[in-house]
Structure formats: C-alpha cells, structure tokens
Amino acid sequence: MTENNEEKTALILLGCPQVPVQTSMALYLLHSLKQQGIRPVIAGTTAARKLMEVADPGRYYVSEMTDLDDAIDAITGKERDFDLCFVFIHNDSGIAYAGTMAYISKARLYALLFGEHAEDLAGEIEFPCEVVAAKAVHNPMPLKRRLDEVMQQWAAVSKQ
C-alpha cells in the first residue's frame, strides 16, 4: 500500500537466480519503476540480492532490499503493503510465492515468467494476476519486450 499520499511502492520478489535473465530484468524493471516515480523494494534470496548489489554498486537502481521471509512477515502482520508486486518466476516455487502474494497482499500482481518452461508454468497460474511470459533464458529481450508492453499500458492508465 502506498506509504504516504505521494509515492507509490512496488515489491519485486526475486526467485532463485539460476536463470541468467533474472538479474538483468530486475534492474531494468527498477529503472522503469523509478522513471514513473514508483519506489521499488526488492525481496529475494541472499544470492539474488547479492547479484543485484554487485551489479549496481553505485545504487542507481537498487535502494531498499529485504529478505523474502521478512517481506512476507511484514505483509501478513499488516505492517506494510505495496501498490504493485512483481514476482519473477521460472519454477514451481516461483508460482507458489506468487500465489501467496495474491492471497496476502492487496498489491496489483504481475507474474513475470521466464526460462525454458515459461509458457507451461503460465498454465499453472490459477490466481488473479497479470501474466507476463516469455521463453527467455540467456537473452532478456523477449521478456523485456513483453514487460515494456505492460508497463506502457500501466503508465497510460495511471495518467488518466
């Protein structure tokens, strides 16, 4: 939920960083959100967060980061919520985390599916969210194009 009346917030939930495009796309998403005045908070495994830290040593894009369990604690404990939530998904655990966010958070949920089995995984989603899926493993461009389409639609709606 928006934490003050001015600034919207987005939770970016990173999965296991074994698929190369995740870190690149997460940085790109941070850039897009900041351009729209949305404050991003990253939640992820230790390795996923370290990859972000090392890729952005000047902290141009990465600001607040938190542990996955701490983020879930804050939302279930009603201490905090977000306007938007983007969940990076390339395996069944990613679907499970996105399903959890759909249940516990009031945020508008985006499921970003990538990796070898992105389309199959998209078929597993049975909860309300916007699906952004592309078979992208090493080359982020298919997922970037899909995300650009969604962000443009979202920006247009926000301006109305």
Partner 1 sequence: MGGCLEAMKPEIILSQSSFKEAREYIKKNVREYHEVEPGYKIFDVHIIGVPPLYIGVEGEHLIFPYTKPCHGTFVVKVPGGEEIARLRARKK
User: What does the binding site for partner 1 look like in residue numbers (CB under 8 A)?
Assistant: 15-16, 18, 44-45, 48, 68-69, 72-73, 75-76, 91-97, 99-100, 102-104, 126-127
Q: To the nearest whole angstrom, how small is the minimum distance from the Cβ of residue 140 to partner 1? A: 20
The 3-class SS string of 3-38 reads CCCCCEEEEEECCCCCCCHHHHHHHHHHHHHHHCCE
40 contacts 13 by C-beta, under 8 angstroms: no
How far is residue 135's CA from residue 105's CA, in Å, rounded to a whole number? 27
Question: How many Å from the N-terminal Cα to the C-terminal Cα in the chain?
Answer: 20
Q: To the nearest whole angstrom, how small is the minimum distance from the Cβ of residue 118 to partner 1? A: 16
Comparison of 78 and 138: residue with beta carbon closer to partner 1 = 78
Q: To the nearest whole angstrom, how small is the minimum distance from the Cβ of residue 96 to partner 1? A: 4
Comparison of 66 and 100: residue with beta carbon closer to partner 1 = 100
How far is residue 50's CA from residue 54's CA, in Å, rounded to a whole number? 6
Q: To the nearest whole angstrom, how small is the minimum distance from the Cβ of residue 65 to partner 1? A: 15
Comparison of 38 and 44: residue with beta carbon closer to partner 1 = 44
